[in-house]
Structure 1
Amino acid sequence: MVGIILASHGEFAKGILQSGMMIFGEQENVQAVTLMPSEGPDDFKAKIKDAISSFDNQDEILFLVDLWGGTPFNQANFLFEEHKDKWAIVAGMNLPMLIEAYGARLSMESAQEIASYILKSAKEGVKVKPEELETADTGKTCEFSTQQSNTGVPGSFEYVLARIDSRLLHGQVATTWTKTTNPTRIIVVSDAVAKDELRKNLLKQSAPPGVKVHVVPVNHMIKLAKDDQHFGGQRAMLLFENPEDVLRAVEGGVPLNTINIGSMAHSTGKVQPNKVLAFNQEDIDTFNKLKQAGLNFDVRKVPSDSKGNMDKILKKAQEELNKLK
């Protein structure tokens, strides 16, 4: 029997598992895997592996995930790369999708066959009242698509967001920041990621609908920024892993005014003055250089957060580093 992993941010996966049980009865070879606020991508990946190891058949796995491009999707997708001939991932998990998958497992033995089969029920399960709202929404979508298609005309990029995030493109970026800034392109600027074909492909597959994702080295981004003949009408969101790459880009001529600081992962030799930002001495020195270059700092994980005070954060980080010396 095809094993099913329900994967979500928070307890959503457990809730929909319980709802499916009420309608279809208790099911074997189904596991809910949840990403909790205190956990990171590696924790979640370990949970997925544990869940899969409990299945009778580990060759045929169907992932139903809550959000395309979020951490549950990204970690499932990372494992999927080694089993792409048999496994399948469907995002946008809802109850009609799950019920249809349960039924399909009784006669289908392929995860990919089931994935294809349940898409229609999943889409038909999304309805609205009054019905005329569905038509109105379709019109808006078409208008947006037309706006997005303005490519290849004279002009330079409009930079709608430049962000430092050690996780790069994940759920918070693919949903909240994308909706707030409305980019036509997301550009991951990193020498390391540009050389890593697996990470590069996973990031491209995490693209939100209607937005192109590119992965380029820092020097190539500098060249793109100086091109004023091909990117008119293009709204670019730049994602950096660290402040050092931002400084290289700015010194090379990428015209940034503000850098959003979302997360910087902790590692050996770094101090962590708050829950999401960790610094070593090079990071602090780099942020000071960015400030001297005239950049403003916007410290927020998501648009709805209140802005943090970067000067106070850097001061606290420097004090903690000094204690370690």
Structure 2
Amino acid sequence: MVGIIIATHGEFATGILQSAAMIFGEQENAEAVTLMPSEGPDDVRAKMEKAIASFDNQDDVLFLVDFWGGTPFNQASSLLEGKEDKWAIVAGLNLAMVIESYASRLSMNTAHEIAAHIIGTAKDAVKVKPEALEPETAAGPAADASGASAGAPGSFEYVLARIDSRLLHGQVATSWTRSTSPTRIIVVSDTVAKDELRKKLIQQAAPSGIKAHTVPIQKMIELAKDDQHFGGQRALLLFENPQDALRAVEGGVPLDTINVGSMSHSTGKVQLDKVLAFDQNDIDAFKRLKELGVEFDVRKVPDNHGANMDDILRRAQSEIDRQK
């Protein structure tokens, strides 16, 4: 695995490492290096050398630094000498760059590959609102690709169906889209479909080159039965809760597996861990989905180990019964 050093002036590196972990999960072989006001170039170099020594693979190292020409960049450049064929530096650090570098390590084996890949993501993450302030640019290849097969005969290919009370957020927009390569992200919810603000926020949260839509459950059922317009489209479906997923499956949306990522706590629910909370209606919906032949993949992000849904439901039922 490529080792990643995030190096900045001040605590920026530590903070962005923490932020990336919240979205993508804790990562091995990734270290923050900070240049504090009382420190100098030699201190930064020593921290970088210590971080590199801790990596499982010291042949491929990627430096993500705050800006070109600063002390972190200069010390990384000094260490890079003689290793240019393996190591790489990317300046202009932002959170999207860090998350994409993590995701890229799942399929890319060299620092050079990752460095070349993440530049586009880092640039695409820089946006402005109101949108009218954006400079006009020609539509790029990614924009064309998102609709390249629209209109071709055939039905959706469902690359992921996920229950997540947060719907389209960082983990979905980065790690799951990276691992499943959808051309469409579809939020399936009667509630959200009536909320113009949430619909707009979901559209804005979509990764570059992927279109996001929000549709009522019945509309998704109709789309699933339309075999004339969606050939080649790879759909990632997001449900807020298991009840909505159940309605979709009972209506004819052909889902074999549902990923269970996050179910937020509310009054009357039992909290089993940091991300999963259930009430009796949730348990009953999952049991009915299982009766319909649906399997469950309980993971927050692709590189997590999956949990056993039957065990989770048994624990949830036991806790609910105990509280009665």
Unaligned runs of 5+ in 1: 1-11, 22-30, 40-92, 100-120
Give the distance between the partners of 1:318 and 1:203, measured in 2 at CA.
33
How many residues are matched?
Answer: 222
Over 3 Å counting, the alpha-carbon distance change for 1:130 and 1:275 in structure 2 is closer
The runs of at least 4 consecutive aligned structure 1 residues that moved more than 3 Å come to: 34-39, 128-131, 141-148
* Residue number in structure 2 paired with 1:259: 258
Give the distance between the partners of 2:142 and 2:223, measured in 1 at CA.
28
Kept in 2: contact 1:180–1:303 (CA 8 A): yes
Kept in 2: contact 1:148–1:210 (CA 8 A): no
* Residue number in structure 2 paired with 1:306: 305
Give the distance between the partners of 1:146 and 1:194, measured in 2 at CA.
26
Over 3 Å counting, the alpha-carbon distance change for 1:147 and 1:187 in structure 2 is closer
* Residue number in structure 2 paired with 1:161: 160
Over 3 Å counting, the alpha-carbon distance change for 1:303 and 1:145 in structure 2 is farther
Paired-residue identity, %: 58
Deviations 1:132-172 (A, max 9, x none): x959x99xx96996586221111110000000000011111
Tell me which amino acid in the other structure corresponds to 2:198: R
Unaligned runs of 5+ in 2: 1-5, 24-63, 71-90, 98-109, 121-139
SS of the equivalent of 1:220 reads helix
Matched, 1:18 2:10: yes
SS of the equivalent of 1:96 reads coil
Kept in 2: contact 1:169–1:239 (CA 8 A): yes
Kept in 2: contact 1:184–1:234 (CA 8 A): yes
Deviations 1:247-269 (A, max 9, x none): 00001110100000001001110
* Residue number in structure 2 paired with 1:219: 218
Tell me which amino acid in the other structure corresponds to 1:214: H
Give the distance between the partners of 2:276 and 2:217, measured in 1 at CA.
22
Cα displacement (A) at 1:94: 6.6
Over 3 Å counting, the alpha-carbon distance change for 1:20 and 1:155 in structure 2 is closer
Cα displacement (A) at 1:196: 0.8
Residue in structure 2 matching 1:95, options 62, 66, 85: 66
SS of the equivalent of 1:186 reads strand
Over 3 Å counting, the alpha-carbon distance change for 1:320 and 1:180 in structure 2 is same
Matches within 5 A, 1:161-310: 161-310=160-309
Tell me which amino acid in the other structure corresponds to 2:10: Q
Give the distance between the partners of 1:276 and 1:220, measured in 2 at CA.
29
TM-score, normalization by structure 2:
0.60
Cα displacement (A) at 1:16: 4.3
Kept in 1: contact 2:142–2:209 (CA 8 A): no
Over 3 Å counting, the alpha-carbon distance change for 1:160 and 1:38 in structure 2 is closer
Give the distance between the partners of 1:207 and 1:192, measured in 2 at CA.
19
